[in-house]
Amino acid sequence: MKVKPDLSFWKLWNISFGFFGVQIAYALQSANISRIFSTLGADPHSLSYFWILPPLAGIIVQPIVGAASDKTWTRFGRRIPYLFIGSLIAVLVMCLLPNAGSFGMQVSTAMIFGLVSLMFLDTSINMAMQPFKMMVGDMVNEKQKGLAYSIQSFLCNAGSLVGYLFPFIFAMVGISNTAPQGVIPDSVIYAFYIGAAILIFCVIYTTVKVKEMPPAEYAEYHGITEEQKNEKVNMFKLLIKAPKAFWTVGLVQFFCWFAFMFMWTYTNGSIAANAFDAPSIELAGKVVLDTTSTQYQEAANWVGVLFAVQAIGSVLWAICIPMFKDRRFVYALSLVLGGIGFISTYFIHDPYLLFASFILIGCAWAAMLALPFTILTNALSGGHMGTYLGLFNGTICIPQIVAAALGGSILALFTPEGCLPPEINMLVMAGIMLIVGAACVYLIKEEKQ
């Protein structure tokens, strides 16, 4: 089997550059979806249910995209067509989703429209995101994979920084940050429009600059024989043959993504109540935060700032991660720091002091972006890289589905009758989940398949 040659820094950069635009879209989604549905009238106890469909769609679509791209070859490549199609769908949905309250629909109809749009947005973003990870596995040798995923992590966090800050910046320059009941503020709508434009530009750049290996060359570098090329292997058989690293890293992933699903779902309400003293109102017999209030919308913009601080912390910590020789140690340490960050939000009521909490959360995010895929792709070889990475996406989707399904019931346990739901408790639980995930890191044994 031939060894893949070293690639220049800029070739590694070009492979992942489109990830910058994809992550802007993902950041806008993760920071604003709870805000959008709360504005449309969702109750905090049901807020997590709006997040079930996206990962449910992802767990079906990602393995299919991975398996199909393993067998695909076009003049544009094998992975690039999928990221391009996913990005086009994402751009279309990004222009529709924030307008869910502006089309004159009834509340229930607007929520259904928003829910379907969210499902398509998350699925298309994941469809566009996964090929970047696959291309690193396809084109980069083992020696450079750490650098390649670090570049990808940097671009990911830079995109997050931009996406998180857009509504805050637009509000600062005078674009309306409040709107009538059930209507999304212009600062959010314009953020989605600009994010869509940047996404399509970045993906076109990668499409033009990156030339994937043709099938014969790919087979030489990955040790694929003619017999293996024609081998009929279904996904279930591949799961049975998966290296142990697939399952042990997947266990850690479960606790990590469970925690971050709670963060995306409940940070808006937590920060609005805990740090901005947003007023509450009685709506349909339940006590909820007043989403038309200035305090709530300012808090929602501040969440974008906090998520941007998280991205900065992630970039800084991503620089430190390669300095540790023991991957398991730095993986576990990162998750513990993130857990401390989540738990600390319960005790902090000053918006600026929350920067420290979210810098620590960024440490966990940096490790989650880089280390699982480095460990897994080093344990894989042969012609099923895309399928395995698509299946591995299940370790991201399943915990999100579980967290979304249980979130409302868990929050109800913390909520006294007739009181505002204490969403901050859900961030504390997220911290505990990360610490449990850190303990599970020591079950991982790195290997080569």
What's the average pLDDT block by block, 10 residues per block, for the chain (449 residues)?
84 92 90 85 79 79 79 84 92 90 76 85 84 85 82 85 91 89 89 95 92 83 65 71 88 97 94 94 84 91 94 88 88 98 97 97 91 82 71 88 93 90 96 98 78
Specify the pLDDT at position 190.
Answer: 94
State residue 448's pLDDT score: 57
**pTM given for the model:** 0.79
Looking at residue 25, its pLDDT comes to 93
Provide the total of helices (H) and of strands (E) in the chain, helices listed first: 17, 2
Which residue from 117, 162, 144, 119 is spatially nearest to 19, judged by alpha carbons?
162
How is domain 9-211+237-443 classified at the architecture level of CATH?
Up-down Bundle (1.20)
Measuring CA to CA, which residue among 284, 237, 267 is closest to residue 30? 267
Q: Is-contact 373 133, C-beta < 8 A?
A: yes
Kindly write down the DSSP assignment for every residue of 213-232, as one continuous string. PPHHHHHHHHT--HHHHT--
What is the reported pLDDT for 230?
Answer: 59
CA–CA separation, 446 and 306 (whole Å): 34
Angle, CA of 187, 313 and 324, to the nearest 5°: 155
Enumerate the domain spans of the chain.
9-211+237-443
Give the pLDDT confidence score for residue 52 in this predicted structure: 83
DSSP-assigned beta bridge partners for residue 74: 77
Q: Tell me, what's the pLDDT at 85? A: 92
Specify the residue for token string 């998966």.
242
Task: Give residues with Cβ within 8 angstroms of 204, minimum separation 6.
Answer: none
Give the model's pLDDT for residue 228: 59
Residue with tokens 């009929």: 232
CA pair distance 140, 7, nearest whole angstrom: 7
Please report which residue ranges of 321-353 form alpha helices under DSSP H: 327-344
Selection from 103, 385, 133 nearest residue 238 by Cα? 385
Cα 20 → chain centroid: 13
* Whole-number pLDDT of residue 381: 66
pLDDT at 389: 76
What's the pLDDT score for residue 232? 61
d(CA 48, CA 267): 12
Which two three-digit tokens encode residue 322? 């390669």
Residue position matching structure tokens 């740090």? 275
- Strand duo 280-283 + 286-289: pairing: antiparallel
Residues 41 and 283: beta-carbon distance below 8 Å: yes
Chain-centroid distance, C-alpha 448: 27
Helix (H, G, I), strand (E, B) or coil at 6: coil
CA distance 322 to 326: 9
Q: Which contiguous run of DSSP H or E holds residue 369? A: helix 354-378
The values of phi and psi at residue 283, to 5°, are -130, 120
Q: What is the separation of C-alpha 248 from the centre of its chain, rounded to a whole number of angstroms?
A: 20
Look at the chain and count its residues. 449
Per DSSP (E only), the strands in 229-349 are 280-283, 286-289
For residue 31, which of 309, 371, 293, 351 has the smallest C-alpha distance? 309
Round to whole Å and give the CA distance between 95 and 86: 15
Query: Which residues sit opposite 286 in a β-bridge?
Result: 283
On the CB side of 275, CA atoms within 13 Å amount to 26
